[in-house]
Amino acid sequence: MSKKNGLADPSRLKPFDPDDQKLLRVVIETPKGSRNKFAFNQRQHVFELKKVLPAGMEFPYDFGFVPSTIADDGDPVDVLVLMDEPAFPGCVLKCRVIGVIQGEQGDKKDKERNDRVIAIQNDAHSWADIKTVDDLGKKFIEELEEFFVEYHKLSGKQYKVIGCKGPDQARKLVKSGMRSGR
């Protein structure tokens, strides 16, 4: 891994686990239950506080990115990770991809895609039986979608859910991001 200013750069890791290409690597930026939204600053190789959510709102699950990818919004591919206990910023997880929430953000004139891969940490006991987003149930998915809608409202942006697809579509998104990435 490349170093700059003495700090490692997790964004340069390979997107898939070298020992098991079915497992996606995810770098956690914001842990489950946090009101603080962190983001990795690639230029300075540090995790920065980007915003603080209002009282009563928190990240429902760990949130991070797939290293060495670029999504349509110019950031690495986003991932929401379901696992038994929260991780911490900078933690690298091996995850099973189960689907993707497809969405677009922006205002009426300028819209861009901002999809969110949904994955399960490979050793998560509570989520072991979940294979696709459909296994989570409709209400669960609706609540995840509503979180992203409300989260974007805080920045004055609209987020519209286009659909929710399974693991094959999520892997295509990651592979597309790999071609766009470094």
Spatial distance between the Cα atoms of 138 and 151, rounded to a whole number of angstroms: 20
CATH number for the domain spanning 121: value is 3.90.80.10
Q: Tell me, what DSSP letter sits at residue 133?
A: G
pLDDT band at 107 (very low <50, low <70, confident <90, very high): confident
DSSP string, 13-58: S-SEETTEEEEEEEEEEE-TT-SEEEEEETTTTEEEEEEEPPTT--
How far is residue 27 from each of residues 34, 86, 93, measured CA to CA in Å? 16, 13, 6
* Residue 163: other Cβ atoms inside 10 A: 11
Structure tokens given for 29 = 């930026």
Predicted pLDDT of residue 109: 81
Q: Is the pLDDT of residue 60 over 70?
A: yes
14-34 pLDDT per residue, tens: 999 999 999 999 999 999 999
Q: Is the pLDDT of residue 180 over 80?
A: no
**32-39 LR contacts (CB < 8 Å, sep 24+):** 32/59, 32/60, 32/61, 32/62, 32/83, 32/86, 32/87, 33/58, 33/59, 33/86, 34/58, 34/59, 34/86, 35/59, 38/89
- For residue 101, the enclosing domain spans 3-180
182 DSSP β-pair partners? none
Q: Is the pLDDT of residue 182 over 60?
A: no
139-178 pLDDT per residue, tens: 999 999 999 999 999 888 899 999 999 999 999 999 999 9
**Which residue did the predictor score with more confidence, 50 or 180?**
50
Domain count across the chain:
1
Mean predicted confidence (pLDDT) in 60-73: 96
Spatial distance between the Cα atoms of 14 and 147, rounded to a whole number of angstroms: 29
Q: What is the pTM of this model?
A: 0.93
- Nearest by Cα to 144 from 122, 166, 116: 116
pLDDT band at 5 (very low <50, low <70, confident <90, very high): low
Taking all residues of the chain, what is their mean pLDDT, rounded to a whole number?
A: 93
